[in-house]
Amino acid sequence: MKLLSLKHYLVTELHQLLLQILAILKPYVESNEEIGRLYSKLELYFEEFNTALQKKRISDFTQEKKRLDQIQDDAFMCWREYISSCSYQVLHPEFREPAENLKEAITRHGWSLHREGYHKQSSASHSLIDEVESTHLKAYQEQVGAQELFESWKEALSQFENVQQEDLEDQSKDKGKSATELRTNIIRWIDKTIHLVSVKVDMESAIEWAEIKGKLEVLIENTNADIKRRMTLHNKKAEMN
């Protein structure tokens, strides 16, 4: 696994990358003590980083953020309630068993995750989405016809996080030395995490590490593509000017 040089990452991009890494690790925290320790350490750094980004402008969300946050909440509840209704289906009793399996997954990650704070909600949402898309639950969801509502929730979540990233980037511009120091620590711990996972896969037989490596590889591939697109667009604009 190899990232682009992290020095090219904007503050918000590092923030989002670490959030996604936490979401990948979270399902394995209880079953693997070492992963649990790594998750706890990264979460502490994330919380410190998150606080530093917002400490000078802690205020109510803009109307646009509030609107998009409500949409993501409504989209999640719409999908969740549809799944719940399928577990009581009379016209299609074959929906009941797959719906129950989906309900169990939602409960594991947070039946009321839309009531959590923004960081916990985002982390729980991505963790749940990852499980639904990468396990047998994907087939269950298609069986009960919930895919369109699920995609609608994913899109609403993405739109909210895009606006949140823009706001955090604006807030970070005046953070000075303290933000720079925290940024350095985040980069160091992301590098250490990726290296550790690779070593564990080579040295141990625990399936958790191999699963985590696979998910990190997908995340890194997608992140690299996003960074390259941003850098290419930036360079084109600079040439035009």
> Per-residue confidence of the chain (241 residues) as pLDDT tens digits?
666 677 778 877 888 899 999 999 999 999 999 999 999 999 998 888 887 776 644 444 577 888 899 999 999 999 999 999 999 999 999 999 999 999 999 999 999 999 988 888 988 999 999 999 988 999 999 999 999 999 999 999 999 988 887 766 665 555 444 555 678 888 888 989 999 999 999 888 779 999 999 999 999 888 888 888 888 886 776 666 5
State the Cα–Cα distance between residues 182 and 237, nearest whole angstrom: 30
pTM value? 0.53
Q: Position of tokens 């991505």?
A: 126
Amino acid at 222: N
CB 18 within 8 Å of CB 49 = yes
Q: How far apart are CA 74 and CA 122, in angstroms?
A: 14
What is residue 42's predicted lDDT score, i.e. its pLDDT?
93
Identify the pLDDT of residue 214: 93
| Residue 241 pLDDT | 52
Look at residue 15 in the predicted model and tell me its pLDDT: 86
CA 8-9-15 angle, 5° bins: 165
pLDDT at 39: 94
Here the tokens at position 120 are 């916990």
